[in-house]
A and B are shown apart, each in its own frame.
Chain A
């Protein structure tokens, strides 16, 4: 008799998103650095979210986690792990996870750590959480993906690198809003994007970021998951992928055999930019904001360096009563304050102020 998959003992009890209010339009970035409009139009971008001067990945991550905990309705004392995935740590050494755990009231009896794997660190935290919960070592885990993504001014990356966060409360399948059916991870040593210690901005391998990195790893993870579970693209109501721009998730979905109507609900990057560790997880949150019980969802984050995880989840009846307990993604995206390039440059520390 086949053993049941450990994942099936776990589910999502709460989800939460935070998007800073400030937005900059692509036109302003293009005009500042002499790009043609066709450059950002090819990325299928409209505007991106910008963190304010008093925001960072820790503050945004806490807001998202507090919303997730609200939807979960879980006693903070029952949380046994806080995993914080980011590539924009406010402290190079000192965990953000403990700040967030303390603010949520989860401390002191909990695991807590910051994870790094470019844009998929939080997803590694999610997969580890499934194991911890399924084994019974902990009851609930909070997984947070949060970034204030950096881009060298004038680099093409500046069109998309943005700020935002998503968080999930993972726990036993019973009572959850969505149950995990399986998970699969696919990683290799691929230098498509990196930031060296002490360097303020990342470098990327230009054309190298697409085929051998983003596409190869997501396809590897998603095909592996579907083979394991015996599913085909038409078995899913929705599919959501990491979205470094507005175009890649549609393309990888098409390559895997998904139809545009399965993909559109999870694509948020054109309106807020690539939130890195938040990217696919904010897309999943938007799907959960709207999904019906019984819907099957495929989610596949990706991180440079490189790797991807694929998860299959089934939405349950409990989603209905949880949905209204925290702001929906569309509400957060629509609350915006437009800023110009100089304000954006000031907020993102691109203007050097000599400390007095």
Chain B
């Protein structure tokens, strides 16, 4: 992939790095990533909240055909993670299809999300991975 917008990557950094979500002052619901208005009621009165870093995998999708820059991660697992106060969509890392199941506990980790070609900007942020017993 090339042509990522550097300003957009920069503006979203705090949300990606610290798992910061939008909390609606009118209906109280939380959404991630935060947007300019509440996706539930449309209110523009929003506060920022840090989300919990442990959750459960509610559902997932396995992407076998991926762009060349993601090939070393293939297949890529996209998960819907329930954090209690909100649900987030995230890549599930450190795991293959045989390692995951609905309901399993997952934890937030800081990873490279993507990169803009071989010379462009690196995009960092939170992903989730299975919590493993020692």
Q: Are B132 and A54 in contact (CB under 8 A)?
A: no
Q: Are B68 and A102 in contact (CB under 8 A)?
A: no
| A53 interface residue per 8 A CB criterion | yes
A55: chain B residues at CB < 8 Å are 111-112
| B48 interface residue per 8 A CB criterion | no
Tell me which of A103, A105, A351 contacts B110 (CB under 8 A): A103
Query: In the bound complex, how far is the Cα of B94 from the Cα of A73, in angstroms?
Result: 29
Q: Residue-by-residue, is A340-356 near B (CB-CB < 8 Å gives 1, otherwise 0)?
A: 00000011010101111
B118 to chain A, nearest CB (A): 7
Size class of the A contact interface (CB-based, 8 Å): 20 to 34
Instruction: Please name the residue on chain B nearest to A333 by beta carbon.
Output: B134
Query: In the bound complex, how far is the Cα of B107 from the Cα of A63, in angstroms?
Result: 12
Identify which of residues 286-343 in chain A touch chain B, using a CB-to-CB cut-off of 8 Å: 330-331, 334-335, 337
We find that the number of chain B residues with CB closer than 8 angstroms to chain A is: 26
Query: In the bound complex, how far is the Cα of B73 from the Cα of A103, in angstroms?
Result: 24
Tell me which of B18, B68, B73 contacts A356 (CB under 8 A): B68
| B117 interface residue per 8 A CB criterion | yes
Query: In the bound complex, how far is the Cα of B63 from the Cα of A354, in angstroms?
Result: 20
Q: Are B110 and A59 in contact (CB under 8 A)?
A: yes
Query: In the bound complex, how far is the Cα of B122 from the Cα of A334, in angstroms?
Result: 30
| A99 interface residue per 8 A CB criterion | yes
Q: Are A355 and B18 in contact (CB under 8 A)?
A: no
Q: Are B14 and A102 in contact (CB under 8 A)?
A: yes
B105: chain A residues at CB < 8 Å are none
Q: Residue-by-residue, is B81-123 near A (CB-CB < 8 Å gives 1, otherwise 0)?
A: 0000000000101100000000000000111110001100010
29 A-B interface contacts by CB (under 8 A): A22-B94, A52-B93, A52-B111, A53-B72, A54-B91, A54-B113, A55-B112, A56-B112, A59-B109, A59-B124, A63-B110, A66-B110, A90-B112, A91-B122, A99-B17, A99-B124, A102-B14, A102-B17, A103-B110, A105-B18, A330-B134, A334-B134, A335-B133, A349-B72, A354-B68, A355-B68, A355-B69, A355-B117, A355-B118
